[in-house]
Structure 1
Amino acid sequence: MEYTNLGRTGLSVSRLCLGTMNFGPQTDEPDSFAIMDRALEHGINLHDTANVYGWHLGAGATEEIIGRWYAQGGGRRDKVVLATKVYGKMGDWPNEQGLSARHIVRACEDSLRRLQTDWIDLYQMHHVSRQTPWEEIWQAMETLVAQGKVLYVGSSNFAGWHIGAAQQAAAQRNFLGLVAEQCIYNLLTRYVELEVIPAAQHHGLGIIPWSPLHGGLLSGAIRKEATGESARSASGRSVAALTEHRSTIEAYEEFCAELGHDPTDIALAWLLSRPGVAAPIIGPRTVAQLDSSLRAFDVVLDDSALARLDELFPPVGRGGPAPEAWAW
């Protein structure tokens, strides 16, 4: 396994992050335990979850599964860099969601209880709150850090200017501020290259891309459709996206075949090659899917291959950061 520092911190994280959103809804507890055990065998130490995962209001079902895995002992908790999130709706009352100081502190306590741990390594804001001032947010986070319940703070789904505003407010308080941004980023969705990634690099945040395969579309969706293997790419938002991008996906799968690699491996390898990216999030539903993700480290994309991928999946505008992407 390859490791990198998370943003400007001294924290070492694996270059693949184990996403746990499937634990509970799609993957039962024994299989979830097996996936987490195998992840450690592979050296994957960054595990990502959220208090809303499990998708039963207020239950935190996925965090509870992870907590029961930690409770088995064997050094599981000490080996893992645990990332979870706060923001989502956890109850029907007004203060059971968002980023008020009250909700941040209460949600952290609840996550710690479900996860059966004393601390969260990376506590991420699942979405920006336009109603809550940064002074309030950072005061709550400082309290949790001072208590040893949170070690680092991250963001998710922030715009570039949100990152800038957050860091300015943190600096005024002599607080470390954000160290990571979790955002959607893949060959089909490259908007973050305009401002989010440049802002993250400027302020020392590591990028943790979610949906690296764009809901399965970049995992050989057309091939799987033909062989009857399709799962994620044949349901939900992926259906409309496949219809819209079919010709591009067909050309992509043909190019991957020319390179002699699976489309999944190419998509992950491309992300691993991108500036500022710390660890793409993989969301395996089985141990076999987890094992196959490591093939991405065997893929070497030369300049010619990268240029072809840019032809197939053009960046926004002329490419690169704003404003050069659209201005002289």
Structure 2
Amino acid sequence: MEYTQLGRTGLTVSRLCLGTMNFGPQTDEPDSHRIMDTALEKGINFFDSANVYGWAENRGRTEEIIGNWFAQGGGRRERTVIATKVFGAMPVEGYSGDSPWPNSDRLSARNIRQAVDASLRRLQTDHIDLYQMHHVDRRTPWEEIWQAMETLVEQGKILYVGSSNFAGWHIATAQEVARHRNFLGLVSEQSLYNLMERSVELEVLPSAEYHGLGVIPWSPLHGGLLGGVIRKTEEGRRRTTGRAAEALEENRAQIQEFEDFCDKLGQAPGTVALAWLLHQPAVTAPIVGPRTDAQFASALDALDVKLSAEELARLDEIFPGHKTAPEDYAW
């Protein structure tokens, strides 16, 4: 297993991050525990979750599954770098209204305090290694957010703070306020980034690199479109509907070209898509969110794939990327 530092911290994490979004909604608890055990056996020490995972009326269920796994002992918690998130509306005890209870879905100091304590209970641990803001909260002042996070660090409830789905200027603003407070600030950014969606190359990745943040890409296979969707559909192993079907038709020629290229390489499309991310200098660890053991095993294959300069250039031809702004839109 390859390891790297998370941004400019002393925290060492595996080059793949195990995403747990499917634990609960699509993968039952025993299978989820088996996948996490396999991850540790393979050397993956970086797990990502969120307080809202489990979704709908089961928000928080994913963290509970992880907590029950930690409770089995055997060094599971000690060997795991656990990341979770705060932001989305969560159930409030004694309240069953249709709309969120005020302050249950923001980054107010009050909600951050309540949310971290709830996550710690569900995870059955005394601290969270990486506590991430799931989305930016434009209504709450950064001074308030950082004061709340500083308190959690002082209390030992969290070690590091990360962001998710931030724009480049959000990262810059957050870091500037943190610097004035003599606080470490953000250490990572979790962004939508893959061969088909490369808009973060314009400003998010340059900002993250400048400010010393590790980058943790989510949806590395773009909802399965980079996982051999055309062949799987033709063979009856996958059925696309709704937005996925529309996206496939809009990008069919491009995706077909990609799958043909992967055939020439002798590699599965999903493996190549993950390997491409691992070759990007700003990337710390792509998130893989397997529903099954087979999907997890396929993701691990990407660690052994080394793409040549010519192969990387060919992928850029199929899926053109971006230069750093403003060079990207110079004419």
Aligned to 2:172: 164
Matched with 2:81 is: 81
Instruction: Tell me the SS of whatever aligns to 2:156.
Output: coil
The partner residue of 2:315 within 306, 309, 328 is 309
The answer for the alignment partner of 1:46 in structure 2 is 46
Per-residue deviation, residues 166-218 of structure 1 (Å, max 9, x unmatched): 00000000000000000000000000000000000000000000000000010
Counterpart Cα distance in 1 of 2:6 and 2:183: 17
Give how far 1:264 is off: 0.7
State how 1:209-224 maps to structure 2 within 5 Å: 209-224=217-232
SS at match of 2:122: helix
Q: Residues 246-278 of structure 1, C-alpha deviation per residue, up to 9 Å, x if partnerless? A: 111111000000111110111001000012100
1:295 alignment counterpart: 301
Counterpart Cα distance in 2 of 1:326 and 1:185: 20
Letter in 1 for 2:309: D
Q: 1:211 to 1:59 in 2, by over 3 A?
A: closer
Relative to the length of structure 1, the TM-score reads 0.97
Take 1:173 and 1:245, find their aligned partners in 2: how far apart are those partners? 47
From 304, 307, 323, the equivalent of 2:326 is 323
* 1:57–1:89 contact (8 Å) kept in structure 2: no
1:324 maps to a residue whose letter is E
1:242 corresponds to which residue?
248
- Cα gap change, 1:236 to 1:7, in 2 (>3 Å): farther
Partners of 1:16 and 1:44 within 8 A in 2: yes
| Cα offset, 1:327, TM superposition | 2.3
Deviation by residue 1:65-113 (Cα, 9 ceiling, x = unmatched)? 1100100110100100000000001132011111000001110000000
* C-alpha distance 98-287 of structure 1, shift in aligned 2 (>3 A): same
| Structure 1, gaps ≥5 residues long | none
CA RMSD in angstroms, aligned pairs only: 1.1
Indicate the SS of the match to 1:79. coil
Aligned match of 1:130: 138
Counterparts of 2:304 and 2:281, CA distance in 1: 19
In the comparison of the two structures, how many residue pairs are matched?
Answer: 323
**More divergent stretch after superposition (294-303 vs 66-75):** 294-303
Q: Structure 1 CA distance, aligned partners of 2:157 and 2:312? A: 42
User: CA 1:236 to 1:9, structure 2 compared with 1: closer, same or farther past 3 Å?
Assistant: farther
Q: CA separation in 1, counterparts of 2:288 and 2:329?
A: 32
CA contact (8 A) 1:153 1:179 kept: yes
- Distance in 2, matches of 1:281 and 1:239, equals 23
1:119 counterpart = 2:127: yes
TM normalised by structure 2 equals: 0.96
Equivalents in 1 of 2:131, 2:242: separation in Å? Answer: 29
